[in-house]
Amino acid sequence: MAKLIDQLLQDRALRRWRRAATQAPDVDLETLRAFRNRARQLNRQLRRVMHVADSRLMLPLIGTNAIRRPLGTDWVWRPEIWRGPISPPGRAAVTSRTMFGSEATIFHDCSVSELTLRQIRNQREDILSPFGLRMDVFQFDGSFLSLVIDLPADSVEGLRKKHLIRMDVAVELEKPLEIFARLNIKHGPNTDQLVRELPLHEEEVMVEFDLAYSKMNEKRVERMWVDLIFEGPEMNQIMLRDVTFGRRPRAEL
C-alpha cells in the first residue's frame, strides 16, 4: 500500500510540474518567480540523489578488483589509485616528490609546475578498474616527468630470475607521446633496471620484463618499483584508466 501511495504522489507531482512547464511562458512574473523558487529547491535534492546513484551504479562497481591472470601467473596486483578512492582525490601545481595516495609519487624538474592530478571514476564496461588517474600537463619547462609506483612486499617473495614481470596499462591521450616503463629491483646495495617502451599503437598495451636479463641477486632482493616516464608531456591530457602487474615463471625449454 505504501508503494502504491508513493507512486500516486509521484505521478501527481509529475503532472503538476508538467502543467507548470506548459504555463510558464504565459503566467505573470510573480507566479513565474514562485515556480522558479520551488523548481530550484526540488532540483537541488534531485541532483543529490542523481550524484549518489551515479557513483554507486557506474561500472565497474567500487570494491571490485578483477584482474586478468595469464596462465601460470602466481602474483597479481592493482595499485590503490586504480583500486579504490584516495584522499585528496586531486592536486594542482604538483611539485616534485609529491605522493598521490600511499603508493605513487610524482617526479619532475620543472621550475614552475603546471601539472594537475585527479583520480577519476571509470565508466567504460571494458575497463575492469573502478578508478583511473588523469594528468593534465600545461606549460612544461623541465626535462623529465615520471610517476613512480612502489610494488608491495609480496611482489618479491620467492622472486627468481626465471620470472617475467608483466605490466598492463589502459591509457588515453589527448595527443600522441612516448611512455616508457622502467622496472627497478633493489638487491642489497645494488639496483638493477629494465626499460621497455609501452606499445601505445597496439590494441593491448602491455610490456613484460624478463628478469633473466637482470643481474639481481635472488637471495638479497629487497623491493621493486616501476617508473612510468612521459616524454614530451607538454599541453597534453594523459588518462591512465587502469594499471595492473602480474608475475609468472618463464616457460621452460
Is the pTM higher than 0.85? The answer reads no
Measured between alpha carbons, how far is 183 from 226 in angstroms, rounded to an integer? 5
- CB atoms under 10 Å from CB of 113, counted, come to 21
Helix/strand/coil for 158: coil
pLDDT of residue 177: 93
Helices marked H in the chain? 2-23, 29-57, 80-83
Tell me which DSSP letter residue 10 carries. H
pLDDT of residue 61: 60
Are 179 and 230 within 8 A, CB to CB? yes
pLDDT of residue 54: 66
- Taking every pair of Cα atoms in the chain, the longest distance, rounded to a whole number of angstroms, is 86
pLDDT of residue 44: 87
The one-digit pLDDT tens for each residue of the chain (253 residues) are: 788 888 888 888 889 989 999 999 998 999 999 999 999 998 888 888 876 776 666 666 665 667 888 888 999 999 999 988 888 899 999 999 999 988 999 999 999 889 999 999 888 778 888 899 999 999 999 999 999 999 999 999 999 999 999 999 999 999 999 999 999 999 999 999 999 999 999 888 999 999 999 999 999 999 999 999 999 999 999 999 999 999 999 876 5
pLDDT of residue 59: 62
pLDDT of residue 55: 61
Domains of the chain as residue ranges with CATH: 2-57 (no CATH), 75-249 (2.60.120.260)
Q: Cα 102 to chain center, whole Å?
A: 14
